[in-house]
Structure 1
Amino acid sequence: MSAPEQHPAISRIRAALQNVSFTSGTTAVSEEALNLFYRANATDTQANVLNLAKATPEQLHGLISACDAAPFGRGNQTVMDDTYRKALKLELAQFAMPFELSQTGILTKIQNDLVDPSVAIRRGIRAEPYKLNIYDKGSFFKAHKDTPRDTSMFGSLVIIFPTEHEGGNLLLTEGDEQWDFDAPTLLQQATAPSVAWVAFYSTVVHEVLPVISGARVTLTYNLYFKSVDNSSETACSPNSKFVAIQDSLRELVDEYEDGH
């Protein structure tokens, strides 16, 4: 039997006990869910369409042509500064997709991973779509924190669509810890049409590294706590940290009993 301090289950328990400020993954979706309908401008009555799982460079160029430069929040102001952020955006009124976040299981994962389990029973979360962003070759967003839109907003969710691109990794930093979310690699490894996603607290510093080639297309959601309703508590799935600790402890106990 392995020495307890060297057992892999101990490492998993230690990892689960750390305060994690983000959660991420990939989720399979239907190819139809990746259809993007957009208008070339606010007055255009004709909708263009492309599928983000198999968009050609020409189709992506058409999408890019329909976009405006993306500003960002600095204090209480919204500013444009392409030395700090070089990216494009479509407002919600300019596009539509059959992609349904509520049917992906992503919100359940966020609820279980980011919301304190003692609060999760009484307080659910909701996501509001914010903007579609496009980062083409050379685009980036330097390190920053998201500006909360409301006192109930606690974080952000970024959906990265499977358009062909290299670079554009999302770096997440909190304290001395840094994580590199490499969506292009994850999407290339997927065996079915999928989206990559990452959700994080508003306190997390994050940056989009420069896109080397292709176009990184993302849909951002603002994450909010629902109002607390103590009169109608509903059960939620077991917290993933609790499950990891429980399974690891069970493994240690089973090995101890087998060895004694």
Structure 2
Amino acid sequence: MTGRPVTVRGGAGPAGLLLVAAAAAWLWLVTRRDGMPAMPGTMGLGLPAFLVVWTLMTAAMMLPATAPVAALYARTITAHRTPRMVVFTMAYLLVWAAAGLPAYGLAAGLGRAAGLPATAATAVAAAVFAVNGVYQLTPLKDRCLAKCRSPVGMMLRYASYPRPSRDLRAGAHHGAFCLGCCWSLMVLLAAFGVMNLWAMAALTAVITAEKLAPAGRLVARGVGIASIALAVAVFWLPALAPGLTAGGASGM
């Protein structure tokens, strides 16, 4: 099942709020980028600071594609819509914040890989590209993407949740599917550079197209094939992975 991308008719207000939150996160990242060290891996940040940056990054990259789902969920709310949507959004972001814990460990490990001899670092970069490429073509990716593209069935599930915890559980549930859909794309930032704003913008466009474009499933498969091609090409052009090869983790 591929599903059709959800539209935002009737929920422009909540969708607009998420887009504003995403824009604010982008503004913070752009204005603070120069104050962050241009280092591979965790950029020299400790775990608390990394989690803050990671959560803002995921808000900037994920909320635009999540806005239509949030708008659809908002249409099921008849009272206290704004505070309930805040809870839904915060629960969604908490899932991504929790994912920052393994992301920190992975970034630390890959950061050390950047200090390896050039051939070894390039092999690690190829592995990163290959992991994303293979995952993009798996049934699990298809399943998670289908839930993100056509979440009407999930709305029926959310309606069965007990009222006191409904918004929290709904946001976390959707966040889990979104994480399942996009985690391998986020891993690519280890190759491109965690705070490479050009890479972040490109991946945001990919994530949004996968979830909202009519041919989103084909976009996902095309990105998977392109990523596998990068896994091969990086041996000839190590600069394709500046976050892991000699070029360093350059930013925008």
TM-score after normalising by structure 1: 0.23
TM-score after normalising by structure 2: 0.23
**Which structure has the highest helix share of the two?**
2
**Which structure has the highest strand share of the two?**
1
Higher alpha-carbon Rg: 1
